[in-house]
Amino acid sequence: MTSMRRWLVGLCLSMITTIAAAAGGFDGELTIDSADARFNQGVVELNAQLSYPLSEQIREDLRAGVTLTFELEILITRPRQLWWNADVVALDLHRDLSYQVISDRYLLRSPTGVEQDSYPTLAAALEALGKVEHLPVAVEAQLVGAGPWEVQMRAGVRRGHISDALRTLLFWRDDWHRTSDWHTWTLER
């Protein structure tokens, strides 16, 4: 019985070590290179250029079957003098990136599965993720008052589809989620 227990403990430690090695960190830095929002026929549209890290670790994770979730957080606030800024609009957008072995392509899809695009290389998929054009984020009726409003945006990436048990085993690692700094600018009519 003792040898069986040692074998099980050794197997568990080996699995944890293997999983921890495979769960290496995201290399590189997420940055928002440029961003602006403008009124277009009563709708506030966002345009932005983001840079996501292209690393061998991300490529290996995707090829090992891990799905990466890319997030875009957008916040529009109305500055106030004697109180905290008033939140007007808060948006969280998510897109999942996975690797399809059979087709040897990278699949980018929305969480609902309605939008789906396929790319031949990881660089092409990350480039498409980093280009935000004419994204509607608010309607003019939501922006009460004369303005100006403050727009904040940040990007993030996290590993998806990992069990809670695995997250518990690897709680000491800080590489499950990366975010960019907040990019802030003023929106005026």
- What six digits make up the tokens of 130? 């980093």
pLDDT of the residue at 174: 46
pLDDT of the residue at 19: 45
In sign, the C-alpha dihedral spanning 136, 142, 147, 153 is negative
Element (H, E) at 122: helix 122-129
pLDDT of the residue at 24: 47
pLDDT of the residue at 183: 92
Cα distance between residue 30 and residue 93, in whole Å:
16
pLDDT of the residue at 149: 87
Per-residue pLDDT of the chain (189 residues), as tens digits, is 566 666 555 555 444 444 444 444 456 678 899 999 999 998 999 999 999 888 888 888 888 888 899 999 999 888 777 777 777 888 999 999 999 999 999 999 987 777 899 999 999 999 999 999 999 999 988 887 777 888 999 999 887 655 555 556 555 554 567 889 999 999 877
Domain that holds residue 62: 2-187
pLDDT of the residue at 13: 47
Query: What is the value of pTM for the model shown?
Result: 0.74
Q: Residue 23 contacts by C-beta under 8 Å, 6 or more apart in sequence?
A: 159, 170, 173, 175, 176
Residue with tokens 């929002």: 37
Q: Do 34 and 49 meet the contact criterion of CB atoms below 8 Å apart?
A: yes
Coil, strand or helix at 109: strand
pLDDT of the residue at 70: 92
**Into how many domains does the chain fold?**
1
